[in-house]
């Protein structure tokens, strides 16, 4: 019965299984019921998650339909979708709602933020797409506020999606402050909240599978982050969630190589913000050769001298030090060696249940050196932090990861400089590309007059 209620609501909510009945229940005139997994020219396709990779489809004799049934393993954690499962799907764009004004944010935008904000507003008015390329620490959330207010005034439904759960949580907090009079829902795996016609939805891209033709404005924050950068089916999901007419605004500090080229040549509509709001250039990473540091550590049970010297040079000033390392496995061993220099050391990685507490202690100055994997490459702002990457030439440290890591330094106006050093055993192409990207942003920032002279 519950499932029947679900589809009798005239909402743009899809991705719901409907029971197999002799007489199919009625769906709103703008929706239809369709098979969840269907055979196409390329093989099977899952119409909830967009997966077309045949390795994720399995067949088995089905007790429901009494025949051989194929199901999708790509999205199975959201409930099993098979060739005999039906989905409620919106066919038509959701209609415009009542116009509202809700923006209560009274902060001031820097000239470079203002210019980007205006471009966001006109993209929304003209129903075009936009890539917003803003360096780490540019203040990109504020650049969205006016655009979202414009969309609400036009009666549009707004969604801000991101690949990362921690970004959802952070954004919800900031949007609830900026738009205090309207209800905003946060959707992610494990969230207690449910969508019920909210005008602003903040969600992981995964949860977009539950929507179709539902949002006139879709913002995708951290568009280059995992898994959105790799999982192409999520691009299909995002496309389907937006209305046919509307705007998709993609936000990133580190676009893919292809997007960078298209943006720099002006081949895609884009807004570039190469300068931080505090008008100081991005700290440029230094490269330092450190030899075979793994062998050294094994032999001496200590950090290589170059890294020891770098850490001890920063310890007296008591500034927080990030030490990025390539693997989870090595992080605790490296922590042990750093501990010989200062007891105020900790390490974190994605599987560490105390991760949030440790980052909080680091913020408070109770921990001076935080050994971390790429898990903290983005999203974390620690005032006056100094940054080292050990094994910067290893595969995990892509151009985008290295730019994001360097972007942790110098974010605060009073501590706008910061030391960023990549320790390597033979510099990689990605390291060079990362440094070039940072140098290019600084150059553009100066040319635009958005940075104070050196």
Interface with Zn ion (CB under 5 A), residue from 4, 20, 38, 65: 65
Rounded-to-integer distance, Cα 373 and Cα 383, Å: 19
Only segment of 75-83, 147-155, 173-181, 408-416 that touches Zn ion (CB under 5 A): 75-83
Q: In angstroms, what is the minimal distance from the CB of 32 to Zn ion?
A: 19
Q: Could you give the string, one character per residue 176-205, with x where binding to Zn ion holds by CB under 5 A and - elsewhere? A: ------------------------------
The footprint of Zn ion on residues 205-234 (CB under 5 A) is none
Only segment of 73-81, 150-158, 200-208, 276-284 that touches Zn ion (CB under 5 A): 73-81
How far separated are the first and last CA of the chain, in Å rounded? 68
Q: In angstroms, what is the minimal distance from the CB of 57 to Zn ion?
A: 9
Interface with Zn ion (CB under 5 A), residue from 12, 51, 204, 372: 51
Q: 240 or 393, CB closer to Zn ion?
A: 240
Element (H, E) at 46: strand 43-46
* HEC-encoded secondary structure of 84-144: CCEEEEECCCCCCCCCCCCCCCCCCCCHHHHHHHHHHHHHHHHCCCEEEEECCCCCCCHHH
Only segment of 71-79, 103-111, 168-176, 198-206 that touches Zn ion (CB under 5 A): 71-79
Return the SS3 of 417. coil
Q: 69 or 334, CB closer to Zn ion?
A: 69
**158-162/215-220 β-pairing:** parallel
- Please state, as a whole number, how many other Cβ atoms lie within 10 Å of the Cβ of residue 49: 25
Are the C-beta atoms of 136 and 407 separated by less than 8 Å? yes
Q: In angstroms, what is the minimal distance from the CB of 384 to Zn ion?
A: 45
Q: Could you give the string, one character per residue 99-138, with x where binding to Zn ion holds by CB under 5 A and - elsewhere? A: ----------------------------------------
Q: In angstroms, what is the minimal distance from the CB of 37 to Zn ion?
A: 7
Are the C-beta atoms of 186 and 195 separated by less than 8 Å? no
Q: In angstroms, what is the minimal distance from the CB of 341 to Zn ion?
A: 49
84 binding Zn ion? (CB under 5 A): yes
Rounded-to-integer distance, Cα 83 and Cα 315, Å: 61
**Of 135, 42, 31, nearest to 87 (Cα)?**
31
Are the C-beta atoms of 116 and 249 separated by less than 8 Å? no
**Of 92, 221, 247, nearest to 154 (Cα)?**
247
74 binding Zn ion? (CB under 5 A): yes
Interface contacts to Zn ion, rule CB under 5 A: 46, 48-49, 51, 62, 64-65, 69, 72, 74-75, 82, 84
């Amino acid at each position: 019965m519950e499932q029947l209620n679900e589809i009798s609501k005239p909402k743009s909510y899809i991705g719901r299984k409907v029971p197999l009945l002799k007489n199919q229940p009625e769906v709103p005139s703008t929706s239809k019921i369709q098979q969840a997994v269907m055979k196409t020219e390329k093989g099977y396709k899952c119409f909830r998650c967009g997966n077309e990779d045949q390795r994720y489809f399995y067949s088995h004799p089905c007790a429901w339909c009494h025949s051989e049934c194929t199901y999708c393993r790509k999205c199975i954690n959201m409930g099993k979708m098979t060739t005999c499962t039906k989905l409620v799907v919106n066919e038509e764009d959701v209609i415009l709602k009542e116009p509202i004004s809700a923006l209560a944010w009274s902060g001031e935008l820097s000239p470079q933020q203002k210019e980007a904000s205006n471009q966001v507003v006109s993209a929304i008015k003209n129903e075009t797409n936009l890539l917003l390329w803003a360096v780490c620490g540019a203040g990109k959330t504020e650049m969205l506020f006016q655009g979202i207010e414009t969309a609400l005034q036009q009666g549009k439904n707004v969604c801000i999606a991101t690949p990362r759960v921690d970004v959802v949580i952070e954004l919800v907090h900031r949007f609830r402050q900026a738009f205090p009079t309207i209800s905003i829902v946060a959707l992610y795996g494990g969230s207690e909240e449910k969508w019920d016609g909210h005008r602003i939805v903040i969600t992981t891209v995964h949860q977009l599978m539950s929507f179709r033709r539902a949002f006139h404005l879709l913002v995708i924050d951290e568009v280059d982050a995992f898994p959105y950068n790799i999982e192409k089916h999520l691009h299909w999901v995002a496309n389907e969630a937006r209305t046919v007419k509307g705007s998709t605004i993609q936000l990133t500090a580190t676009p893919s190589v292809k997007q960078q080229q298209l943006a720099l040549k002006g081949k895609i509509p884009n807004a570039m913000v190469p300068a931080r709001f505090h008008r100081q250039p991005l700290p440029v990473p230094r490269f330092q050769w450190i030899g075979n540091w793994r062998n050294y550590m094994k032999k001496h049970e200590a950090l290589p001298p170059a890294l020891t010297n770098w850490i001890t040079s920063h310890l007296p000033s008591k500034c927080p030090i990030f030490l990025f390392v390539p693997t989870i496995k090595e992080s605790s061993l490296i922590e042990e060696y750093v501990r010989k220099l200062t007891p105020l050391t900790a390490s974190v990685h994605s599987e560490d249940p105390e991760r949030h507490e440790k980052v909080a202690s680091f913020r408070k100055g109770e921990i001076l050196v935080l050994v971390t994997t790429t898990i903290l490459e983005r999203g974390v702002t620690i005032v006056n932090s100094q940054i080292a990457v050990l094994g910067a030439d290893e595969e995990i440290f892509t151009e985008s990861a290295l730019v994001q890591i360097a972007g942790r330094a110098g974010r605060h106006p009073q501590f706008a400089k910061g030391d960023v050093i990549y320790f390597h055993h033979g510099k990689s192409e990605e390291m060079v590309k990362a440094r070039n990207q940072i140098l290019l942003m600084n150059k553009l920032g100066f040319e635009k007059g958005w940075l104070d002279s050196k």
